Every structure is written in C-alpha cells, then in structure tokens.
Amino acid sequence: MPAALVCLLAWPACQGPGGGEPVAEVNGERITAADLDRYRWSKLPDGQELAETASASQEAAQRFALLRELIDQRMLVQRAADMGLVATDAEVDAAVERHVVEYGTQAALETFLGDKGLSLGDFRTELRHRLTIERLIQAEISSRVEVGADEMREYYDSHESAFSVYEEQMHLAQILVSASAVSPIPNLRNDDATGPDAAREKIEWIREELASGADFEKMAREYSEDPIYAATGGDMGFIPQSALESTDIRLRREMVALEPGEYSKIVETDGEFRILHLISIEPAGQRPFEDQDVQRSIRAVLTNRKEQVLRAAFYEVERNRATIRNYLAERITAEYGVAN
C-alpha cells in the first residue's frame, strides 16, 4: 500500500513531531495533520465518540470528507475575519460554559477533551470557528433572504389545493442524519457525520439532548443534515393522512403513534436516521391564507428554497476566490501514478 495512504489510515503513526505535516493550504494558511486530528475529535464534543469504521476504504473516505470540511471551515473563517465577524471572547466563554454545565464541572469537560488529545484551548479555538461561521452565514445568507407578502400570496394561490384540507393532516418536523457526506452542509454548525457508526451515534446524542429539554427547532438548525428542512428548523409542513400510505412503513409506524408535541424514537431507513416531531394534528377543511400556520408554513418553504440556493452559491464563489491546495490528495494520487 502506498505510504501516503498508509498515513491516511494510520494517522498518528505518520505524523511528524507535533503532527506538523501539511495536508492542505488555504490562502497561504497551512492545515496540518495535527489540525485535522483535532478537528476530528472536536466536531462532536458532547459525549459522542467517532466510531472506528469497518474498513480501510471507509476510514479513508471519512478522512477526506473531514479534510474537505476543514478546508471550507478555514476558508469561511478567513472571509469572516476580513468582514470583522470573528466571534468575541464573551461568546466563546458562553459557549464553553454551556458545555461545562452539560459535563457538570470544567474539570470533567477537560478530562473528556484530554482523553481525545485536546486541550481546552483547542476546544475554544474550534468553538470560535463554529460561532464565527454562524455569524458569517447569518450576515451573508440568512439576513439577505426575504419573503414578501406578494410572494406568499402567489404561492398560496398557485398551491391552493394543498391548503384545502379534505382529510386530517399531521404537522410534522424532522431531524435527519445521513451516513453519506453532504455538501454544502446545511446546518449552522457545519456538522456532518460520515459513515453509519458516526451517524448513528450523532442521532443518539441528539435524541438524548431532546429528552433533556433541548429545543427541537434549534437542534434541527444546528445539527440536522437535511438539505431541504434543516434551515426551517426541521418543519416539513402539513402531511395528509392519505400520504402516509406511500411512506416507508418504519416511518409510518412512528408517525401514527405520536401525540401532538411528542418526539419519535430514532428511525433508521437505508442509511438515514430520523427523529420525527408531531407539532399538531389539523382537522379537515379549507385553511385560508390568513391562517397564521398557513403563512408560517409558506414562509418557511420559500425562505428555505432561497437560503439553500444562496448558501450553495456562496460556498462555490468563496472556493473560486480562495487559493486551495490539498496536499494529501496530491501525495496519494502521485504515489498511484496519477498525474497532478
């Protein structure tokens, strides 16, 4: 097996002193093997474990996906710094404190981080990056998306039959975690589980957080990997009872068992993991445009469409502007004889 690929699969053994071997460069800023390793463990610090993958190829795919995320992270943080949007010390302190509360004491948090080879300083740096990107996305994407009353009325008029409720409907939301890599990552935390084990552990952690009182909409915006509904806090709108007939039986069983306000158990379907939330059950009848739930649903759909397009375009424009080199990819392809 080529040496570079061996290093990819057995990471710590191939790092130089301090893990300083460069794996990528973004606008002149180096990303080292140690940076990637720290990023791997700091992505999900809330009691989760990034599981060992079943094969060498899966491990390699996970490393490459993580490196791509880290390249995007550095690119966006640099852009945010240019715009004066870097998260403040006070914001980082508040974020750290939330984790301290979850772990009980700062010592307990530092012990957990230490077991992963991370210092509290490393963790603070990653939190600052996440918060900075959230500020950038809010400033450059969310704040620029507007949905006017005329747009909403036009959508209602062209989809009026969808609001003519001939049967009982379920107002549902979901949090989705996929074993497959997604790009661009649709959540505010820029968080993407890679591989079935990591996806399962992430969704289990989310379910535990919900059971402890975490807000479903907030968790969906920050962690859901659903490219359609993450931006709406997981809100999928109203689903008629008849539509359940074409829904996967595993999802249907959970839906019909829920009472308004309840969350489902974790449902696994073909490499995807979901938690469903039944917001309400709406009786049959025509729902007028003036209905606040109707307007909220329309606004969420139109906002999500615009945000997804703008976010994808924004990432591509930033990649076009940036000078990026993936040294790890270059070394592996070179050792296999592929021309760079």
φ/ψ (deg, to 5) at 11: -55, -55
What does the angle CA 214 – CA 143 – CA 294 come to, to the nearest 5 degrees? 65
Do 134 and 19 sit in the same domain of this protein? yes
For residues 259 and 211, give the distance between their C-alpha atoms in angstroms, rounded to a whole number: 16
CA distances in angstroms from 109 to 36, 97, 98, 105, 193, listed in the order given: 21, 10, 11, 7, 22
Give me the CATH number covering residue 216.
3.10.50.40
Do 48 and 81 sit in the same domain of this protein? yes
The beta strand positions in 27-163, using DSSP E, are 29-32
Contact 185, 191 (CB under 8 A): yes
Do 18 and 136 sit in the same domain of this protein? yes
Q: How far is CA 168 from the centre of its chain?
A: 32
In a domain, 99, yes or no: yes
- Token pair of 249 as six digits: 């039986």
Structure confidence by residue, pLDDT tens digits, 68-96: 999 999 999 999 999 999 999 999 998 88
For residues 110 and 103, give the distance between their C-alpha atoms in angstroms, rounded to a whole number: 9
The answer to whether residue 12 scores a pLDDT higher than 50 is no
Q: What percent of the chain has pLDDT over 70?
A: 90
**Starting at the edge strand that comes first in sequence, how are the strands of the sheet with 22-26 ordered?**
29-32, 22-26, 324-325
Among 281, 287, 280, smallest CA distance to 164 is for 287
In a domain, 120, yes or no: yes
In a domain, 311, yes or no: no
Task: Of 10-14, 260-264, 281-285, give the range with the top mean pLDDT.
Answer: 260-264
φ/ψ (deg, to 5) at 324: -125, 135
pLDDT at 17: 35
Residue 329: strand, helix, or coil: helix
Residue 278: strand, helix, or coil: strand
In sequence order, what are the residues at sequence separation of 6 or more whose Cβ sits closer than 8 angstroms to the Cβ of residue 18?
34
Q: Among the listed ranges 164-173, 198-207, 298-307, which one has the minimum average pLDDT value?
A: 164-173
Do 136 and 169 sit in the same domain of this protein? no
pTM, 2 dp: 0.64
Do 198 and 133 sit in the same domain of this protein? no
The answer to whether residue 324 scores a pLDDT higher than 90 is yes
Between 17 and 316, where is the model more confident? 316
Do 126 and 236 sit in the same domain of this protein? no
Contact 241, 168 (CB under 8 A): yes
Structure confidence by residue, pLDDT tens digits, 235-276: 998 888 788 778 888 888 898 899 999 999 999 998 899 999
In a domain, 297, yes or no: no
pLDDT grade for 98, boundaries at 50, 70 and 90: confident
The number of distinct structural domains making up the chain is 2
Do 214 and 109 sit in the same domain of this protein? no
Give me the residues paired with residue 325 across strands: 25
pLDDT at 19: 60
In a domain, 122, yes or no: yes
Do 174 and 130 sit in the same domain of this protein? no
In a domain, 268, yes or no: yes
Give me the CATH number covering residue 87.
1.10.4030.10
Q: What is the mean pLDDT of the chain?
A: 85
Among 320, 295, 309, smallest CA distance to 231 is for 309
**Starting at the edge strand that comes first in sequence, how are the strands of the sheet with 169-178 ordered?**
235-240, 169-178, 272-282, 267-269
Do 40 and 96 sit in the same domain of this protein? yes
Do 180 and 134 sit in the same domain of this protein? no
Domain carrying residue 270: 165-288
pLDDT at 44: 52
Structure confidence by residue, pLDDT tens digits, 22-38: 999 999 999 998 899 88
Q: What percent of the chain has pLDDT over 90?
A: 46
140, amino acid identity:
E
Between 279 and 50, where is the model more confident? 279
Among 322, 259, 276, 228, smallest CA distance to 26 is for 322
Do 7 and 136 sit in the same domain of this protein? yes
For residues 276 and 251, give the distance between their C-alpha atoms in angstroms, rounded to a whole number: 9
Structure confidence by residue, pLDDT tens digits, 107-128: 988 998 888 888 999 989 999 9
Q: How many CB atoms lie within 10 A of CB 73?
A: 20
Among 2, 139, 151, smallest CA distance to 84 is for 139
Do 125 and 182 sit in the same domain of this protein? no
In a domain, 256, yes or no: yes
In a domain, 307, yes or no: no
pLDDT at 22: 92
